[in-house]
A = this chain, B = another copy of it.
Amino acid sequence: MTDTDLDALVTRVRERVTPDAAERERLRAAASDLVARATAAVADLPEPADEADVLQVGSTARGTWLAGDRDIDVFVRFPTSIPTSDLETYGLRVGHATLPDGREEYAEHPYVKGEYEGFDVDLVPCYDVESAADIRSSVDRTPFHNAYLAARLDDALSGEVRAFKRFLKGIGVYGSDLRTEGFSGYLAELLVLEHGSFRATVGAAADWTPPVEFDPEGHGRASFDDPLVVVDPTDPERNVAAVLSRDNLARFQHHARDLLADPRESVFFPPERPPMSAEEVHEHVRRRGTAPVAVAFDAPDVVDDQLYPQLRRSLDGLERELSGRGFEVVRSTTAATEPDDGRRALLLFELAHRTLPAVERHEGPPVHVRDHAEGFYRKYADADAYGPFVADGRYVVEREREERDAAALLDSDLLFEAALGARVETALRAGYDVLAGEELAGLDGEFGDELRAYFEPHV
């Protein structure tokens, strides 16, 4: 490849992801209407709430959204003199006035979400604090981010940001939600701002040796334990990349190098992979010669930012439980279907073997530690176990294993001896299914995409 290849590719991608004039105008008009309607609603509030200002924030406000994105964020910024309960009440009042068909959602405060002229709109209350360091909740920070970037991103840089965001989307690491654990839009914007272009950003990332730290304003005071640190230009205490996982940073570095070596549009716009069929699942299980066991259940009714961390904690807890009992976990994964009435969740463990020997080795104290040794020997001398015998200076017995079948273990109360996420535990206590071996193929309907990703993994 030549530099020209990559430059030409970035130009093509920019063209595909830059909204055209009509889209810009539609968005401008809609945002303008929404701000006007919210402003009118604010005027009807009692003082001093009626001093709140209304502003559009986010990528559609900053001009860095990708063509086709339909999110408009409108913030109502209240004076800090009003109590939180009033902020929430007035915020919802303004929200419902602005979006009559909207519904209430809950993040750090309740807010109203709705549709307007084909756009997905969030109408969010926040406090008008002095600086981002004084925030009361994280939404208070957003207007500062907006102001910081608006002053620094020109059209050319915005185009580079769009290409970079599209790249992050293409490789699957775009989003600072706790399901994705990837790059936020703000982080993407700061990285391009720091390096000056798309090319310079991926060129630098290809050679990073984490931990990597950027501090655009040179004001960082805290020390962070994250693999990538970008000190928030509006808040020296905050790492903008705190949510980014180590593995997603590694994926980013891989794809940065891969793109430099072989620039191609499909990295930005990868073909969609079809869900995996039951036959394909069968074939992979057979080819791998492993013993998958899975727990499928009705997902607890919590938002994704709570659900996915809880699922991961439960996956880790059960993996430790299985390993501690002698089962070798080859790989594992967790998944949930899209939020809807019948949302399902999955904890999948691919084991080297579904069953273990009937006996398990249990090592006692060194024989020379008389008190402990005599106690151990007495306990097992007449027990239904092999031994005690001596190995490496210790008493050893081989006693009957409590549960030698992993599927039976998961199907019993032993499941609850694992450290589980609290809401996942509650959900499991209401009931769950255990699937083993080729029964896994029956998950293709609900988890076909996740099974594709699991059985045909790539970076």
Residues of chain A having any CB pair with chain B under 8 Å? 206-210, 227, 246-247, 249-251, 253-254, 257, 287-290, 326, 328, 330-331, 352-353, 355-359, 361, 366-370, 373-374, 377, 386-395, 398, 404, 455-459
Contact = CB atoms under 8 A, between A and B. Distances in A.
A454 to B, nearest CB: 10
Nearest to A387: B457
A359 B208 contact: no
A330 B357 contact: yes
22 contacts: A206-B370, A210-B393, A246-B393, A249-B393, A250-B367, A250-B390, A251-B390, A254-B373, A254-B390, A287-B358, A288-B357, A288-B359, A289-B355, A289-B357, A290-B357, A326-B352, A330-B357, A331-B361, A352-B357, A388-B459, A389-B457, A390-B459
Nearest to A453: B389
Contacts of A458: 387-389
Contacts of A374: 257
A167 to B, nearest CB: 17
A135 to B, nearest CB: 32
A367 B288 contact: no
A254 B253 CA distance: 59
As for how many copies of this chain the complex holds, the number is 2
Contact of A253 (B253, B367, B392, B457): B367
B393 A359 contact: no
B459 A247 contact: no
Given A247-B392, A352-B356, A374-B257, A208 B368 contact: yes
Contact of A254 (B250, B257, B355, B377): B377
A370 B207 contact: yes
A290 to B, nearest CB: 5
A63 to B, nearest CB: 33
Contacts of A257: 370, 374
Contact of A368 (B250, B328, B370): B250
A209 B355 CA distance: 40
A393 B459 contact: no
Contacts of A394: 250
Most chain B CB neighbours (cut-off 10 Å) among A288, A373, A393: A393
A350 to B, nearest CB: 9
A391 B332 CA distance: 11
Given A288-B357, A290-B358, 16 more contacts: A206-B370, A246-B392, A253-B368, A254-B373, A257-B370, A257-B374, A288-B358, A288-B398, A289-B356, A331-B361, A352-B353, A352-B357, A377-B459, A386-B455, A386-B456, A388-B458
